Structure formats: C-alpha cells, structure tokens
Structure 1
Amino acid sequence: MYTAVLIKGKTYAVMGHVFLVNQVKDVEKKVFQYLDGSEFFNCKEVKAPVDDIVKEEEEPAQEAKIYTETELKGMNKTEQEAIIIDLGGDPSQLKDKSERIAFILEHQQQQEKTGE
C-alpha cells in the first residue's frame, strides 16, 4: 500500500487522482512511483497487514466519481480544473465556470458510455 500527500501547491491531478494540499491519499504502485521524488509530494510505502493485502486483490477497481451539476457549481475553479485534467481536457481552453461545468458533465457521460 502506498500513500501520497501534496505538500506544495493547492491541487494536483494525476492518473485519476485529485490531490488537495496536505490531504493523505492511498495510491497505486504506479502513481507512487510517478510521484515519489517530486518536490511537491511526500510519498510513503505503508506495510499492510496480510489480511488487507488479500482484500485489495479481491476488490474491483474503483470507478471514477460522477459529479452532479450542483456539486460542480459548489466547487471553486481550481477543483473544477483538476477534474477537467482528469477527464483529459485542457482547462485553459474553457472561458468560465459554466463552460467548465458543461465540459465535465459531457465528458463524464462519454466515459460512462465507453466504460472507461
């Protein structure tokens, strides 16, 4: 088991994870390897008890969070931009809050249809 904590900046999105400053998140080995050594992150390998290792192997992969329009309206620009990056978009191409929300809702639907 691995953990990563964003120690510099406000938010960071990578490989399906959105990190907020000082928030500890459990991450997969490939995310740990990618972030380990970055000056923006504090990464650790946590030894899990044998029972937890068996449970991790049995659990299906987590599906991406589906955000509602109401949730998105309650988020700040940085949080919305992190979601856009996770969805493969470029936040700098979107002019305002309504365009960011429309992009997120549209791309979430596309991912549900394609099963990504």
Structure 2
Amino acid sequence: MYTAELIKGKTYSVMGHVFLLNQEKEIEKKVFQYLDGNEFFACKEVKAPVDDPKTDDQPKEDKEPVEEEEEPAQETKTYTESELKGMNKTEQEVIVIDLGGDPAQLKDKSERIAFILEHQQQQEKTGE
C-alpha cells in the first residue's frame, strides 16, 4: 500500500486523484512511482496495517462508531452557480468527488457546474 500527502500548494490533480493540502491519501503503485521525489508531495510505502499501533490497541467495535460520528459532522456547503463559475477546475473537481461523482466523465466547466447543482439539490431533498 502506498500513500501520498500534498505538502505544498492547495490542490493537485493527477491520474484521477485530487489531492488537498495536508491530507494523506492512499494511492496505487504507479501513482506513487510518479509522485515519489516530487517536492510537493510526501510519499511513503506502508508495509502492513498490523504495524499500526492504533489498530492494535482498539477493537473494531470502538473504531466503527468514530467513523460514523465523523461523517454527519461534515457540513455540506451548498454552492451557488456564481460561486461555482468563479472556481477553477480543480476546486470544482474536488466538489464533484465529494458529491460522489467522477470528474473524468464531465467534459467541461458547464457540465461540472450542472452536476454539482443537481446533486446538491438531490442531497437537500434526501437529507431533510
């Protein structure tokens, strides 16, 4: 298993991954090989999760509720069309990913904006 963390800049998109500053992300070997040595990233190969002291100390029952609590705590911001138009491609792609979409399937800025607006409306309907 490999991980990469963006340590310089705000966002970076490469090989279908969108990296945000100081957020470690699990990546494939080919992405690791591409980013390793790039001054904007801290890349590492993680041997086995068994070596993780957090995993060894806590039973599975303790971990699951923590993950469930974190998800609802994340407030989803509702973006307006004018806010989205003012954003760059990478910022829009991050929002698309957060909404469960694949930015690679959206051809241009107008499609990304339409996707975001539509999925925000769907989340508001199902969330209330």
Q: TM-score range by the shorter chain?
A: 0.5 to 0.7
State whether structure 2 residue 110 is matched by structure 1 residue 98. yes
Find 1:86's aligned residue among 98, 111, 115.
98
State whether structure 2 residue 83 is matched by structure 1 residue 71. yes
Shift of residue 7 of structure 1? 1.1
Structure 2 match to 1:46 = none
Shift of residue 110 of structure 1? 0.3
Q: Residues 37, 19 of structure 1: CA spacing in aligned structure 2 closer, same or farther, 3 A cutoff?
A: closer
Unaligned runs of 5+ in 1: 13-17, 23-31, 41-59
TM normalised by structure 2 equals: 0.49
Pairwise CA RMSD of aligned residues? Answer: 3.6
Instruction: Give distance in 2, aligned partners of 1:11 and 1:85.
Output: 13
Aligned pairs for 1:8-23 (under 5 A) are 10-11=10-11, 20-21=20-21
Instruction: Give distance in 2, aligned partners of 1:92 and 1:70.
Output: 22
Instruction: Give distance in 2, aligned partners of 1:37 and 1:97.
Output: 27
Instruction: Give distance in 2, aligned partners of 1:63 and 1:101.
Output: 20
Unaligned runs of 5+ in 2: 13-17, 28-41, 44-71
Q: Which has the larger radius of gyration?
A: 2
DSSP 3-state at the match of 1:67: coil
TM normalised by structure 1 equals: 0.53
Q: Residues 85, 36 of structure 1: CA spacing in aligned structure 2 closer, same or farther, 3 A cutoff?
A: closer
Displaced runs of 4 or more, over 2 A: 8-12, 18-22, 35-40, 60-63
Letter matched to residue 99 of structure 1: E
Q: Residues 113, 78 of structure 1: CA spacing in aligned structure 2 closer, same or farther, 3 A cutoff?
A: same
State whether structure 2 residue 15 is matched by structure 1 residue 7. no
